[in-house]
Chains A and B, each alone.
Chain A
Amino acid sequence: MQIKFLHAADLHLGSPFKGLHNVNPSLGKKLRKASFVAFDNMVDAAIEDEVDFVLIAGDSFDSGSGDLQAQFFFLRGMNTLREKGIPVYLITGNHDPLNKWSENLKMPDNVILFSGEKPEVYDFLKDGKVAAKIIGMSYSQREVFDNLAAYYPNGDPGILSIALLHGNRGTDTGHQPYSPFALDDLRRHANTDYWALGHIHKREVLSDQNPCAVFPGNIQGRHFNEDGEKGCYLVEFDGKKRNDFRFVPLSEFIFQRVEVDCSKVGDIGAFTEKLEEVASELLEGKSGTSFILRPVLIGMTEMFVALQNHQQVDELFREINNRSLHRASIVHFDSPVNKTLPSVNLEERAKSDDFFADLLRDFKALLSDDIETKGIIDEINEEITGNTKRMLSGEIEKVNKDNGEREELIRSARNVAVAALLEQKNRGNDN
Chain B
Amino acid sequence: MIIKELHIDGFGIFHDHRITGLNSGMEVLYGANEAGKSTLLDFIRMTLMGYPRPNDQRRPPLKGGNHGGSIFFEDKTGKTWEIRRTGTNHNAPPTLIDQTTLEEFRDQVQFDKVVSNANSEIFENIYAIGLSELFQMGSIDKSGMKDRIYSLGTGVVGLDLRALESELTKKSRDLYIPRGSTQRISNLVSDLNELEGKLHHMDAGVERYDQILHKVGDFREKSEEVSNEIQCIDKELEQLKARSDIYQNFVDLEDARKKLAEYVDFQEMHDEDVENIRSIQQRLDDRKKQLSESQKQLDELRDRLDKVKTDENLLEFLPKKGWLERAIPEYESRMTQSQREQEQISRLKEERDSLLSRLGKGYSSDLLAQFNQFDGLRNKGEEVYKKLESLDRSIALKKERLEDRNRAVREIQTAVEQFEHQRDSGNIATEQDAVTGRKKWAELEVKFNELISAPTSQVDLPTWLHFGALVVAIIAAVGAVLLWETYMWFGIIGLLGAVVISVLILSSWRSGGKRNDKPDAIELQAKIKELEAQLNSYEKIRDAIEEKVRERDRLVSLKREEEDQVAQEEKSREELERDWFEFITELGLPAGLRPSAAGDFCERAKNFQDLERKQKTAELARGELQKKMEGFEQEIRKMILAGDGESITEAASRLSNQLEEQEKKKNEKSSLGERLERENHDMETLEKEIDRLEGEGDALYGKYGIGSAEEFPEFLKKQTEYREAVDQKNEARRLIESRCGKNRFDGVVHDLRGLDPPEINRRISELEERKKELDRDREGINQSIGKLSEDAKKLIDSEEQAGLLEEREVKRAALADAYREWMSVRLAERVISHCKLKYQETRQPAVIRRTAEIFSAITSGRYGNIQVSVDDEALIVFGKGGSRKSVFELSRGTREQLLLSLRMGLIDQYEASGAEPLPVVLDDVLVNFDKKRASETARQLTSFAQKRQVLLFTCHKYIAELLEAEGARVRTVD
Q: How far is the CA of A249 from the CA of B799 in the complex (A)?
A: 26
Contact indicator A358/B158 (Cβ below 8 Å)? no
A16 touches B827 (CB 8 A): no
Q: Could you tell me if B831 and A362 are in contact, using CB atoms closer than 8 angstroms?
A: yes
Whether B579 sits at the interface, judged by CB under 8 Å, is no
CA distance A407 to B523 in the complex (A): 176
Q: In B184-219, which residues have CB < 8 Å from any A CB?
A: 185-186, 188-189, 192-193, 203-206, 208-210, 213
Q: How far is the CA of A429 from the CA of B158 in the complex (A)?
A: 8
Given B178, B812, B839, which contacts A358 in the complex, CB threshold below 8 Å? B839
B814 at the A interface (CB under 8 A):
yes
Known: A32-B799, A388-B186. A354 touches B843 (CB 8 A): yes
In whole angstroms, how far apart are the Cα atoms of A195 and B917 in the complex? 90
Within 8 A of A (CB), among B143-194: 153-161, 163-164, 167-168, 171, 176, 178-179, 185-186, 188-189, 192-193
For the side of the interface on A, what is the size category?
35 or more
| Residue of A19, A355, A387, A394 touching B809 (CB-CB under 8 A) | A19
The chain B residue with its CB closest to the CB of A382 is: B178
Closest to A100 in B: B206
Q: A65-B805, A356-B156, A428-B157 are in contact. Are A387 and B817 (CB under 8 A)?
A: no
Known: A103-B210, A416-B824. A366 touches B189 (CB 8 A): no
* 0/1 interface trace, chain B 802-813, chain A, CB 8 Å (1 if under): 110111111111
A413-431 CB mask vs B (1 if < 8 Å, else 0) is 1111100110011011101
Residues of B close to A381: CB separation below 8 A: 823
**Inter-chain contacts of B168 with A (CB < 8 A):** 416-417, 420
Q: Is the interface of A mostly helix, strand, loop or mixed?
A: helix
Taking a contact as CB atoms under 8 Å apart, the answer to whether A420 and B167 are in contact is: yes
Residue B728 lies at the interface, judged by CB distance under 8 Å to chain A: no
> Cβ of B827 and Cβ of A392 under 8 Å apart?
no
In the assembled complex, B828 has its CB within 8 A of some CB on chain A: yes
From B159, B208, B807, B820, A355 is in contact (CB under 8 Å) with B159
Q: Are A410 and B827 in contact (CB under 8 A)?
A: yes
A384 on interface, CB distance cutoff 8 Å: yes
Contact of A102 among B178, B179, B209, B824 (CB under 8 A): B209
Residue from A356, A376, A391 in contact with B189 in the complex, judged by beta carbons closer than 8 Å:
A391
User: Bound complex: CA of A182 vs CA of B911, how far in Å?
Assistant: 79
Given contacts A66-B805, A380-B830, whether A18 and B155 have CB atoms under 8 Å apart is no
Asked if A19 and B813 sit within 8 Å, CB to CB, the answer is: yes
Residues of B contacting A354 with CB < 8 Å? 153-156, 843
Partner of A68 from the list B171, B796, B815 (CB cut-off 8 Å) is B796
Asked if A355 and B154 sit within 8 Å, CB to CB, the answer is yes
Chain A, residue nearest B817 (CB): A21
- Take A17-B809, A409-B820, A431-B158 as given contacts and tell me if A416 and B802 are in contact as well, using a CB distance cutoff of 8 Å: no
Q: Is A395 an interface residue (CB 8 A)?
A: yes
* Chain B residues in 8 Å Cβ range of A425: 156-159
Binary per-residue interface labels of chain B (395-423) against chain A in the complex, 1 for a CB within 8 Å, 0 otherwise: 00000000000000000000000000000
B513 to chain A, nearest CB (A): 136
Q: Give chain A interface residues in 348-378, CB to chain B under 8 Å.
A: 352, 354-359, 362-363, 366, 376-377
**Which residues of chain B are within 8 angstroms of A335 by Cβ–Cβ distance?**
813, 817
Residues on the A chain within 8 Å of B809, using CB: 16-20
**Complex contacts, B839 vs chain A, CB 8 Å:** 355, 358
* A64 in the interface (beta carbon within 8 A): yes
CB-CB contacts below 8 Å: B743-791 with A = none
Q: Mark contacts of A14-46 with chain B using CB atoms, 8 A cut-off: 1 yes-contact digit, 0 otherwise.
A: 101111110100001001100000000000000
Q: Which residue of A lies closest to B199 (CB)?
A: A65
- A-B residue pair count with CB separations less than 8 angstroms: 201
Q: Is A128 an interface residue (CB 8 A)?
A: no
**In the assembled complex, how far is the CB of residue B797 from the closest CB belonging to chain A, in whole angstroms?**
7
Given contacts A28-B806, A310-B821, A356-B155, contact A420 B795 (CB under 8 A): no
A225 contacts the other chain (CB 8 A)? no
- The reply on A158 being an interface residue by CB < 8 A is no
List residues of chain A with CB within 8 A of the CB of B158: 424-425, 427-429, 431
Inter-chain CA distance A356–B159, complex, in Å, is: 10
Specify which chain B residues have a CB less than 8 angstroms from the CB of A395 in the assembled complex.
Answer: 815-816, 819-820
With A103-B210, A392-B815, A412-B820 already in contact, the answer to whether A69 and B801 are too (CB < 8 A) is yes
Q: Considering the chains assembled together, what is the distance between the CA atoms of A32 and B810 in angstroms?
A: 12
A421:B156 contact, CB within 8 angstroms: yes
**Interface mask (B61-95 → A, CB under 8 Å = 1, otherwise 0):** 00000000000000000000000000000000000
Q: How far is the CA of A65 from the CA of B200 in the complex (A)?
A: 10
Q: Chain A's nearest CB lies how many Å from the CB of B105?
A: 30
Q: Which of A176-224 contact B (CB under 8 A)?
A: none
Whether the Cβ atoms of B803 and A32 lie closer than 8 Å is yes
The CA of A310 and the CA of B814, in the complex, are separated in Å by 11
Contacts of A363 in B (CB 8 A): 831
Chain B residues positioned under 8 Å from A380 (CB to CB): 823, 826-827, 830
Cα–Cα, bound, A53→B798 (Å): 31
Closest A residue, CB atoms, query B823: A409
> With the chains together, A63 CA to B805 CA distance in Å?
13
A28 and B803: CB pair below 8 A? yes
Q: Distance (Å) between the CB of A427 and the closest chain B CB?
A: 8
A369: min CB distance to chain B, Å: 12
**Is there contact, CB below 8 Å, between B843 and A412?**
no
Q: Which residue from chain B places its CB closest to the CB of A394 in the assembled complex?
A: B816
A275 to B111, CA, bound (A): 53
The reply to whether B806 and A387 form a contact with Cβ atoms under 8 Å apart is no
| Closest-CB distance, B188 to chain A (whole angstroms) | 8
Return chain A residues, CB-CB under 8 Å to B153.
Answer: 354-355
Instruction: Check A388 against B189 for contact (C-beta < 8 Å).
Output: yes
CB within 8 Å for A21 and B830 given contacts A69-B205, A391-B192, A424-B156 = no
CB pair A376 B827 closer than 8 Å: yes
Complex CA distance for A387 and B807, rounded to whole angstroms: 19
Given the complex, which residues of A lie within 8 Å of B830, measured CB to CB?
A: 376, 380
* A31 contacts B189, C-beta separation under 8 Å: no
- Asked if A32 and B826 sit within 8 Å, CB to CB, the answer is no
B160 cross-chain contacts in A, Cβ below 8 A: 424
Min Cβ gap B195→A in Å is 11
> A28 contacts which chain B residues (CB < 8 A)?
803, 806-807, 810
Chain A: CB-nearest residue to B205? A68
Is there an interface contact between A20 and B810, defined as CB atoms closer than 8 Å? Answer: yes
Closest to A61 in B: B206
Taking CB atoms, residues of chain A closer than 8 Å to B176 are 383-384, 388
A428 touches B159 (CB 8 A): yes
In the complex, residue of chain B having the shortest beta-carbon distance to the beta carbon of A28: B806
| B210 with A413: CB separation less than 8 A | no
Does B642 make an interface contact (CB < 8 A)?
Answer: no
A416 touches B828 (CB 8 A): yes
The answer to the question of B834 belonging to the interface, with a C-beta cut-off of 8 Å to chain A, is yes
Residues of B within 8 A of A429 (CB): 158
A65-104 to B contact mask, C-beta < 8 Å, 1/0:
1111101100000000000000000000000000011111
State A392–B192 Cα separation when bound (angstroms).
Answer: 11
Residues of A within 8 A of B805 (CB): 16, 65-66
The yes or no answer to B17 lying at the interface (CB within 8 A) is: no
Chain A residues contacting B171 (CB-CB under 8 Å) are 416
Tell me, yes or no, whether A385 is within 8 Å of chain B by CB: yes
Which residues of chain B come closer than 8 Å to A17, judged between CB atoms? 806, 809
Q: How far is the CB of B613 from chain A (nearest CB, A)?
A: 114
Q: Cβ of A307 < 8 Å from any Cβ of B? A: no
Known: A32-B802, A358-B843, A392-B819. A421 touches B159 (CB 8 A): yes
Q: Please list the 3 inter-chain residue pairs (A to B) with the smallest Cβ-Cβ separation, ordered nearest first.
A: A428-B158, A354-B155, A413-B827
For the A-B complex with A358-B835, A416-B171, A424-B158 known, give 9 more contacts whose Cβ atoms are closer than 8 Å: A19-B809, A21-B817, A69-B802, A102-B209, A355-B153, A358-B843, A377-B827, A384-B178, A412-B823
29 pairs, A vs B, C-beta closer than 8 Å: A16-B805, A16-B809, A19-B809, A20-B813, A32-B806, A65-B801, A66-B205, A66-B802, A68-B209, A69-B797, A104-B210, A355-B835, A355-B836, A356-B156, A380-B826, A387-B189, A391-B188, A391-B193, A392-B815, A399-B823, A413-B831, A416-B171, A416-B828, A417-B831, A417-B832, A420-B167, A420-B828, A424-B163, A425-B159
